[in-house]
Amino acid sequence: MRINIWHNKLVVKSFAGKVRLWVLALTTPLLILVFANPMAFNFTIICMIPPEHAESDETMTIGQSVNSTANSENFFSYDEKIIYDGRVYYDYSPLQRNALFSSAALGLLLGTLPLSYCVGRYNVRYTFSAYAFISAVTTLLIPLSAELGYIYLFCLRILQGIGSSAELMMISSVPNEWSPIASAGTFMIILSTYYQVGPALLMPTAAGLCESQWGWSMVYYVQGSLTFIVVVLFFIFFRDSPREHPLVNQKELTKIEKGKDVILKEKSEKRETVPYRAIFTDYMVWIAWLGFFGDELGYQIFQQYGPLFLNKALGMNIQEIGFAAALPYIISIATKLIAGPISDRMTCVSDRTRINIFAVISQAGCIFCYACLALFPTVMADVPTWLLQAFYTPINMFCGLAFLGMYKSAAVIAKQYAHVTMTGLCTIQSLIMLILPLIVSLIVPDNSLEQWTRLFIAMPFIQTTTTIIFLIFCDSKPSSKFKPNAHLWMGQGDVVPCFSRDMQELNARIAVKNSY
């Protein structure tokens, strides 16, 4: 006898009126884990490479010596494992290390290419679950790939990047479908905390495990296992919209859809064609992408190289790095949770003004901090570490507020096609992650503080330019080019078919909504 848990009275009663909150509670930790999985390498690389001036007890070399001019054959075939103090280290060249940073970005870029098609062909639930499953499996296999050889680790890092390329899509999809209008900003800001919560949990955990008897490999085993568990729960519970979820009652559906223009489709009907040309030729979309580029570049520098900067340029040990690298993310989490509700309650100003306010706060703070990081080491012979850390720490917090600025603009102007503009943001993110290691290897080859200031000094100019252009031309209203087909639109008084199994119940719900 088949038992349907969705019709169980206890289950229905437990989730009554709170399904949207459970969707948020499941999506957020999965985003955190999927984001933290490839980022774990940014910290564990410190534990994987041999300590400076370490005398090897035993050296195992596969292939030939490799350097910055090595050909591709030697580049991928060379491996040198050093056993020192009872631990195995991997003596990757600087070029190999930077290639490992870029490999995840390459995967992120490749993963965005089929994203819009997969969402249109299958749906958000199946697409994101598949991407997250790839992230879980590849994370579990990272230690084995490092043991097998550099080429295996390089390829697995690409797959790991592919697994994390659907995250930005979820930050637009879940608030658009599941959040009431009054709390859309709060939903978006809570979901976007994966940018901060992931590293904040990862850094101290990785520091403790790296120094423990289990070593850096345990970081990947723990994260991969947790990701696998959460993605299974997510797949079971999540639905693309409240109308498709069997536990959403009439009261909650009315609350979610009140004031919204809801798009309904026949299950058998051919899906609406996405107006790609209209999207990619709309200047507002490009303005939002440009603003996001400036913010993301400022964020990615320390997201990728924060631990290395603290270790090599500021001379911190692994335990100190665990806290120092996590602190910016902890502060950013608190700031976001305060900023989200504030944005929702700023009804005295227009949406565009709200977007501009948070864009200015975000980028002005980031510009100031980068300017100080570039200035103080230049004018002071012996700059204190605490002073540099004081300007390093807030950068992540300021960049995080851009989710209520540039990111929100990209989401709202595309309306129901937000997954396309989010794919554009993800492409920009992956290109930055792909190119940044190459820039760092050229400008900061030895990771000295003097070399880092060369990179920092360029950031205020870049971010000032992108922010000014964004503030002048940005918008917060959906473009007229992106309106859906008339027969898919639910306006006042409309009674139209949708995915619901019970047509009478559906029309009753629409009638209740239209009575408000």
The answer on 328 and 206 residing in a single domain is yes
84 three-state secondary structure = strand
Which residues are CB-contacts of 146 (< 8 A; sequence separation ≥ 6)? 48, 90, 152, 153
The answer on 313 and 213 residing in a single domain is yes
Torsion of CA 374, 462, 424, 280, to 10 degrees: 180
The answer on 346 and 358 residing in a single domain is yes
Range of the domain at 493: 1-17+249-269+485-516
The answer on 256 and 198 residing in a single domain is no
What sign does the CA torsion over 124, 130, 133, 135 have? negative
Backbone angles phi, psi at 60, to 5 degrees: -120, 120
Query: Tokens 């690389």 correspond to what residue?
Result: 45
The answer on 400 and 452 residing in a single domain is yes
Helix or strand holding residue 79 (H, E):
strand 79-84
* Residue 510 pLDDT level (bands cut at 50, 70, 90): very low
* Residue 11 pLDDT level (bands cut at 50, 70, 90): low
Query: Is 56 a domain residue?
Result: no
Per-residue pLDDT tens digits for 410-441: 877 877 777 788 778 888 888 888 888 888 88
Query: Is 84 a domain residue?
Result: no
Look up residue 65 and give its two tokens: 């010596």
The answer on 424 and 364 residing in a single domain is yes
Query: Is 461 a domain residue?
Result: yes
Q: Report the domain count for the chain.
A: 2
Cα separation, 347 vs 513, in Å, equals: 23
Query: Is 449 a domain residue?
Result: yes
| CATH value at residue 204 | 1.20.1250.20
Look up residue 72 and give its two tokens: 């591709």
Backbone angles phi, psi at 317, to 5 degrees: -85, 175
Query: Is 192 a domain residue?
Result: yes
Edge-first strand order for the sheet with 58-62 is 58-62, 79-84, 87-90
- The amino acid present at 114, given as its one-letter code, is P
The answer on 128 and 5 residing in a single domain is no
Q: What pLDDT is recorded for position 71?
A: 46
The answer on 242 and 331 residing in a single domain is yes
Torsion of CA 147, 148, 149, 155, to 10 degrees: -110
Mean pLDDT of 311-321: 79
Task: For the beta carbon of residue 235, count every other beta carbon within 10 angstroms.
Answer: 17
Backbone angles phi, psi at 92, to 5 degrees: -75, 145
Mean pLDDT of 131-158: 92
Per-residue pLDDT tens digits for 443-466: 888 888 888 998 999 999 999 999
Per-residue pLDDT tens digits for 234-269: 999 999 888 888 888 888 888 888 766 655 544 434
Q: What pLDDT is recorded for position 83?
A: 62
58 three-state secondary structure = strand
The answer on 233 and 132 residing in a single domain is yes
Query: Is 110 a domain residue?
Result: yes
Q: What pLDDT is recorded for position 72?
A: 46
The answer on 284 and 254 residing in a single domain is no
The answer on 207 and 222 residing in a single domain is yes
Query: Is 79 a domain residue?
Result: no
Q: What is the per-residue DSSP string for 80-131?
A: EEEEETTEEEE---HHHHHHHHHHHHHHHHHHHTTHHHHHHHT-HHHHHHHH
Query: Is 63 a domain residue?
Result: no
The answer on 194 and 215 residing in a single domain is yes
Q: What percentage of the chain carries pLDDT values higher than 90?
A: 20
